[in-house]
Amino acid sequence: MSFSFFKPSRPKTPPEVTKAIKDSLNALDTKTVAEVKALEKAMEEVEKNFVTMRCMLSGDGEVEPNVEQVSQLALEISKEDVISLVVHKLPILGWEARKDLVHCWSILLKQQVDSKYCCVEYIEKNLELLDFLVVCYDNKEIALNCGNMLRECIKFPSLAQYILNSASFVLFFKFVELPNFDVASDAFSTFKDILTKHASLVAEYLTGHYDEFFDLYEKLLTSSNYVTRRQSLKLLSDFLLEAPNVQIMKRYILEVRYLKIMMTLLRDSSKNIQISAFHIFKVFVANPNKPREIKIILAKNHEKLLELLNSLSGKGAEDEQFEEEKELIIKEIEKVSRLQSLKS
């Protein structure tokens, strides 16, 4: 008869992995967090369980993940409220645990069980989790993890729509200018995804919140921070020129205040900003239905504008098209400046 003192442990099932994660996260209560040794032990348990979850979801480098187990784990994690638990425990998790969680989060959201995204459906029923993740940009220790998790959520229209229409969306106008460069850049990446991933949703949002949104956006375009000005100008061009936003664009280019902002940005010390500003400025000028107020501004400033435009050149492969567009805009400004009706 042979004996083995070291029996290999039986692989855990998805319900067992889910229970282990839930129990270890619940162990991170107020009392445990206050005691150093107890906290260390509890954190070790969480990290161990997250590694198990990661291996079950994406394999261990040698063995591929079992598709059925992956689906079952996603279902169990949704059913047992583990999604809510991991989000709310994020601020006290260690670096390794957060890294594994972000990796698993992406896989879990994409899992379909009976043609339904069970984890996404869970978040749809617990939308405050999205608000929690947004507010976490104020905590630089976990901001980048939360940013990654938010961008995964934004891939799904229902979750993106909630963020767009939530009170927490306006916080992005603050977060993109935070003093910590990495956090501000990450917040801008999320902000950009919200405004570009689902064009029809964004068009609907901008139609209903036009004044509020562009009042806040104006502050980004006129920021003293070069990176903020450059990124926000490029993003404005990206979403304003999208086909579903054509009515928003038509409204935007009727407003003198926004023309003046673009004229100011054309004088920016940065060539990149000048060129980005030109691509929006040209739409104001090329508009066949320019209001009288817009024409008056262009006519009064035509000499300075022509001088600016003549000194502006494109970049690399874009040179030829840029020069053609610039020539058309110069001709239109010259034409407007000669209009007798504006001189009365």
Residues in the chain: 344
| 159: number of Cβ within 10 Å | 20
pLDDT value for 10 = 57
Domains and CATH numbers, the chain: 11-125 (1.25.10.10)
The tens digit of pLDDT for each residue in 125-165 reads 999 999 999 999 999 999 999 999 999 999 999 999 999 99
Residue 153 Cα to chain centre, angstroms: 10
**Percent of the chain with pLDDT strictly greater than 90:** 82
Place of tokens 């929690």: 132
pLDDT value for 318 = 67
Q: Is 117 helix (H, G, I), strand (E, B) or coil?
A: strand
Q: What is the mean pLDDT of the chain?
A: 92
pLDDT value for 1 = 44
- Whether residue 6 has pLDDT greater than 70: no
Burial classification of residue 55, based on how many CB atoms lie within 10 Å of its CB (0-12 exposed, 13-18 middle, 19 or more buried): middle
Q: Is 113 helix (H, G, I), strand (E, B) or coil?
A: strand
pLDDT value for 4 = 42
d(CA 131, CA 34): 27
- Cβ atoms 15, 76 nearer than 8 A: yes
pLDDT confidence tier of residue 316, bands split at 50, 70 and 90? low
Question: Cβ contacts of residue 99 below 8 Å, gap of 6+?
Answer: 145
